[in-house]
Amino acid sequence: QKEVEQNSGPLSVPEGAIASLNCTYSDRGSQSFFWYRQYSGKSPELIMSIYSNGDKEDGRFTAQLNKASQYVSLLIRDSQPSDSATYLCAVNILNTGNQFYFGTGTSLTVIP
Amino acid sequence: GAGVSQSPRYKVAKRGQDVALRCDPISGHVSLFWYQQALGQGPEFLTYFQNEAQLDKSGLPSDRFFAERPEGSVSTLKIQRTQQEDSAVYLCASSLGGTGDFPYEQYFGPGTRLTVT
């Protein structure tokens, strides 16, 4: 079982809608959670980090963490065509060093 | 300031050749990571440096892979006797904190796309 699971998609939403991206993780020692955006042919770009249960908002992005359910999500409000990309969830697990474990990513398409 | 840089951006190697991939992290970043990303997959951890010390190399797939960071700044990932299965994008990331610090965000370079023919 992989440490981090994501629905590969593709997920399609109309422009202006809310896109919801989900990620589950298996290790209860996971302590830090990150969302990256990766455009085709480019490297991952950090969007947000979240460390505590609850919501964290940054502009149009909201990360939600529920450690009891081992679940982290990313909401993108007012989705734009430029948000079309693959979104990677990453976790750091306590006592396994500073490496990140990544999911396979969810492909998002925002339709104009 | 400048981000993480990597060179070359693209590398084509014949099977059996040795290659060297370079990473220049963000100035002042203590930690440096190498990841391998296959098509359609998320990055997979290869190795981790804190300053010049290689603290974790558990992700290196074989003894053909070797990494160093001799002065605690620039790092080189070397692959000896390349095989077709080594074809992937090799990503370098750097982070401000080190072991024992709360995990800091990692910032990625543009990657090196290695194709072994």
Contact residues, chain A, for B35 at CB < 8 Å: 102
The answer, yes or no, to whether residue B35 has pLDDT greater than 90, is yes
A68-83 per-position pLDDT tens digit: 999 999 999 999 999 9
A16-75 per-position pLDDT tens digit: 999 999 999 998 888 899 999 999 999 999 999 999 999 999 999 999 999 999 999 999
Question: Would you call B108 and A100 a contact, using CB atoms and an 8 Å cutoff?
Answer: no
- Closest residue by Cα to residue A101 from A47, A29, A48: A29
* Percent of chain B scoring above 90 in pLDDT: 90
Instruction: Map residue A81 onto helix, strand or coil.
Output: helix
The chain B residue lying nearest A87, using CA atoms, is B42
Contact residues, chain B, for A106 at CB < 8 Å: none
The chain A residue lying nearest B48, using CA atoms, is A99
The chain A residue lying nearest B104, using CA atoms, is A98
The Cα–Cα gap between B112 and B23 comes to: 9
Is-contact B37 B44, C-beta < 8 A?
Answer: yes
Q: Which regions of chain A does DSSP assign to beta strands (E)?
A: 4-6, 11-14, 19-25, 30-38, 45-50, 54-58, 61-66, 71-76, 85-93, 101-102, 106-111
The Cα–Cα gap between B33 and A97 comes to: 11
Contact residues, chain A, for B103 at CB < 8 Å: 31-32, 92, 98
The Cα–Cα gap between B19 and B78 comes to: 6
Please report which confidence band the pLDDT of residue B82 belongs to, taking 50, 70 and 90 as the band edges: very high
